[in-house]
Structure 1
Amino acid sequence: MTEAVPLSLCAREPRVPADRLVAEMVPPPRFDSVRFETYVPDRNQPSQAEAVTVLSSFAAGLGGAHATGSGRRRWFTRKPAAPAAPRGVYLDGGYGVGKTHLLASLWHATPAEPSLKAFGTFVELTNLVGALGFQQTVKTLSGHRLLCIDEFELDDPGDTVLVSTLLGKLVEAGVALAATSNTLPGKLGEGRFAAADFLREIQGLSAHFRPLRIDGEDYRHRGLPEAPAPFSDEQVTRASHATGGASLDDFPQLLEHLARVHPSRYGALTDGVRAVCLTDVRPVPDQSTALRLVVLADRLYDREVPVLASGLPFDRLFSDEMLQGGYRKKYFRAISRLTALARDAKGLVEQ
C-alpha cells in the first residue's frame, strides 16, 4: 500500500477573506445535525430538561417578521409597569454539559432562513469586527433574527467595551441573543483583568440576557474509560503516513507557528485535515501560548478532527498555576475536548 505524505500545519499560513467569516457563521460540522430532540438530558440534573423546554419556547417566539423600531419587544411582551425583560438567553454551566448542543439546536429550531441567523464563538465575533469594522458588523448583523455566541468570555477591557457596544446596537435593531459560557454574565472578566473598572459595561451585557443554569458532569467522559495514554513518536509518525489527509507536526514547533497565525484563521488552518498527529507533546510554556492552543482545540473539536499524540498526556498540558487562574475554565475545556479527540484517534494506530 502506498503511504500518504502527511500534511503540516506549520507549513500553512491561511488568509481568510471577510465574506468567508460571515458565510461561516453557522453551527460547525459537529453540531450541524443536532436538535433539541437529540439532546439527552441527565435524569439526575433537572436543569438540563428545563433548558430544552425554555429554549424551545424561545425559538418558537422568534417566528414572524423581523422586529424593528417600536416592535422589537414583541418576543418578550410585558405590561407597561413591569421592568424591561432581557432579550436573550445565557446558558451557564460547566464544560461538557451540552451547552453548545443546545445553542446549535436553538439556531436550527428558530423559524428563519439561515441567512437571518448567525452562530459563532466569541472569538469569531470579535474577529468579524476586526475584519469588517464595527459599523459594517452592526449593519451586517442588524438584519438577523438571532445571534448565537458560543464560549462567551471577556479576556480584556477592550473586548468588554467592544462587545457591550455591539450587542447594545443589535438589541436596539431587534436582534435576539443567545450565548453560552462557563461564567455567569455578571461575573465575566473576573480573575483576568480589573473587571471592577469596567463594571458598567459588564452589567450592561448582563442586562441583555436571562441566565439559564445547566448543571451536570462532562458528557464526553461520562461512563467512558480513561483517556488513552500517549503513543510513541514512531507510532504517531507511522499513523500519519498511513492516514490520508493527516497532518504531522512537532508540538513545540506548532505552538510557535500558532503565534504567527491569527486565531481567526485557525479553522482555515485545518481545512481538509482528517487527523492531526503531534509528536513530543509537552507542557505549554506560557499563558499566551496556552490561550492560542485553546482556540485551536476548539476548532479541531468543532470539526471532529481526531488528535493522535506522543509525549505527555493532555491533562498535563497546563501548569497548576494556569489551572487555578482566571482562564482555568478555558483550559479545562481544552483538556476535555482534546481528550475526546485523542480517544477518537485510537483507531489510527495499528494494533
Structure 2
Amino acid sequence: MTLTQDQAATPPNPAPGGGVPSLSAVRPTVSPDRLLADLVPPRHFAQARFSTYRADPAHPSQTTVPARLQEVARETAAPRSSGLKALFGRRRAAPAVYMDGGFGVGKTHLLTSLAHAVTAELGERSVAYGTFVEYTNLVGALGFLPTVEALATRRLVCIDEFELDDPGDTVLMSRLLRELADRDVALAATSNTLPEALGEGRFAAEDFLREIQALSSRFEVLRVDGEDYRHRAVVTEATPLSADVVARSAAARRGAVLDEFEDLLAHLATVHPSRYGALLDGVEMVALTGVRPVQRQEVALRLVVLVDRLYDRDVPVLLAGDAGQHLFSEEMLRGGYRKKYFRALSRLGALAEEGRRLAV
C-alpha cells in the first residue's frame, strides 16, 4: 500500500452548511513512522496497572496470573548479561507468556499492566504494544526484515488478540515472534476462548502452541478464568435509539461524527485497515443511523477492525436502526471468524451503552 504523510490529529472538517461532520468524508494517510509510534497501550487502558486489576475471588487464576506477570515484568526489566558472563555462562531466555481465556476476563488489562510496568522501569521506547492485526499491517507497510529490526530494539513486544483464523498471517506472526525471541526480546500475547468452550480445556492455547511450533517450548501458558465483566453478548439489549435522538446528540457534542451505516461500511472498503486508527483522529463520538445486519463477511471483518479501534480509544457510539441482536448472522457467529465477531459484539455493546448515557 502507498503510505504518505500523516494527517493532523484534528476533528474531521464540518459538513457543508455547518452540519455534523461525517467519518465517511475522512481520507486518512499514515506513514510507517506513525505505525511504529502507535504501538503503545490503547487509551482505554491508559490507567491499567496490576494494582487496579480487580480479581474475582471465585476464580483463583485472576490472582495467580497477575502475580506471575509482575515477575515477568521484573525479569524483562532486569539488566541483560554482558561480557564474559554472556559469552560463557548460560543465558536465561527472555520471558514469553501467553494468556488464554474468555472475553472480558481482564487479559488486555493485565497485558497493558505488564507493558506499563516495563515502561516505568526502562522508558517509553522499551515496549511495543499492538493487536495481531496491527503487527501484520506493520509488516505489510515496512516489510518483514525492517519490522524485525524495528521491534528488536524493544525489550518487550505485546500482542493482544492473537488470531489463528488466517493461515498466512499466523505463519507470518509465528516467524516474526521467532526472530524476536532469538534476539532476546520478551514476548507476551493474549487470545480468546469462545464463551461456549470455557471450562472444556485450553482450546485456544492448544491451537496457539501448535501454530507457533518452533516457539511452543518457550511460551508459558497462563489461563485466566472468569466471566465477561461487560456481560454483553449482543450490541445492546436496550431499546434502540431513534435516528432523531442520534442526530441531535451528535450535533450537541464536540468531536462527534454522524454517518449512515451503509455509507460508512462502503467507505471502510476504500481505507486500508492499518489507517482506521488515523480515521478516528480527533473523533470523540461516532453516531450511526440505519444500522442493520451485515450480510457479507468481508464487510463484517472491516467493521470488526473499526470496533477494535473505537474501543481502544474509548469512543462512545450512538446506534439507530434495526440490527438489534443480529448485527452478524448466525452463520458468521458459527464460522471461522466467530471469535472476532463475539469480541466485536462485546466491545460494541459497551461503547453503545456509554453512548446511550450521553444521548440528549
- In the TM superposition, what are the counterparts of 1:113-132 in structure 2 within 5 Å? 113-132=123-142
Question: Structure 1 CA distance, aligned partners of 2:277 and 2:90?
Answer: 36
1:329, 1:73 → 2: CA distance?
Answer: 41
**Would you say the 8 A contact 1:301–1:337 is kept in 2?**
yes
CA distance in 1, matches of 2:150, 2:78: 20
Distance 1:71 1:90, change over 3 A: farther
Any runs of at least 4 consecutive aligned residues in structure 1 with deviations exceeding 4 A, and if so which? 66-76
Match of 2:262 among 252, 263, 267: 252
Match of 2:25 among 11, 14, 17: 11
Give 1:175-186 correspondences, 5 Å limit: 175-183=185-193, 184-186=204-206
Structure 1 residue 32 displacement after superposition: 1.2
SS at match of 1:62: helix
Matched, 1:219 2:229: yes
The equivalent position to 2:61 in structure 1, one of 26, 38, 47, is: 47
Write out aligned runs for 1:25-40 (5 A): 25-40=39-54
Structure 1 unaligned spans of 5+ = 77-85, 190-198
3-state secondary structure, aligned to 2:122: coil
1:190-339 to structure 2, matched below 5 A, reads: 201-221=211-231, 227-313=237-323, 315-339=325-349
**What residue identity is the alignment partner of 1:43?**
P
Taking only aligned residues, the RMSD between alpha carbons, in angstroms, comes to: 2.2
Structure 2 Cα separation of the partners of residues 73 and 7 of structure 1: 60
Q: TM-score, normalised by structure 1?
A: 0.87
Alignment match, 1:193: none
**Alignment-derived partner of residue 103 in structure 1:** 111
Structure 2 counterpart of 1:81: none
Alignment partners' CA distance in 2, 1:53 and 1:203: 27
Q: Percent identity?
A: 56
Q: Is the 8 A contact 1:67 1:173 kept in 2?
A: no
Report the equivalent of 1:82.
none
Q: CA deviation at 1:203?
A: 2.2
Q: 1:334 Cα deviation (Å)? A: 0.6
Question: How many angstroms apart in 1 are the aligned matches of 2:96 and 2:268?
Answer: 34
What is the match of residue 80 of structure 1? Answer: none
- Give the corresponding residue for 1:94: 102
Shift of 1:242: 1.3
Q: Which residue of 1 aligns with 2:5?
A: none
Read off the aligned partner of 2:108 and give its amino acid letter. Answer: T
Q: Distance in 1 between matches of 2:89 and 2:130?
A: 23
User: How many residues in Structure 1 have an aligned counterpart in Structure 2?
Assistant: 326
Query: After superposition, what is the alpha-carbon deviation per residue over 1:21-73, rounded to whole angstroms, capped at 9, x for unaligned?
Result: 11111101111111000000111111111111110111111123346876997
Q: Is the 8 A contact 1:66 1:144 kept in 2?
A: no
Contact 2:39 2:130 in 1 (8 A): yes
| Offset from partner CA, 1:275-306 (integer Å, 9 cap, x none) | 00000111111111111111111110110000
8 Å contact kept, 1:62–1:75: no
Q: By how many angstroms is 1:133 displaced?
A: 1.0
Local SS of the residue matching 2:72? helix
Question: What is the rounded CA distance, in whole Å, between the counterparts of 1:54 and 1:144 in structure 2?
Answer: 21
CA displacement 1:207-254 (0-9 Å, x = unmatched): 4421111111111138xxx74321111111111111111110011111
Taking the aligned partners of 1:307 and 1:73, their CA distance within structure 2 comes to: 53
Contact 2:76 2:95 in 1 (8 A): no
1:87 deviates by 3.6
Amino acid at match of 1:187: D
Task: Measure the CA separation in 1 of the matches of 2:317 and 2:88.
Answer: 49
Code of the aligned partner of 2:206: G
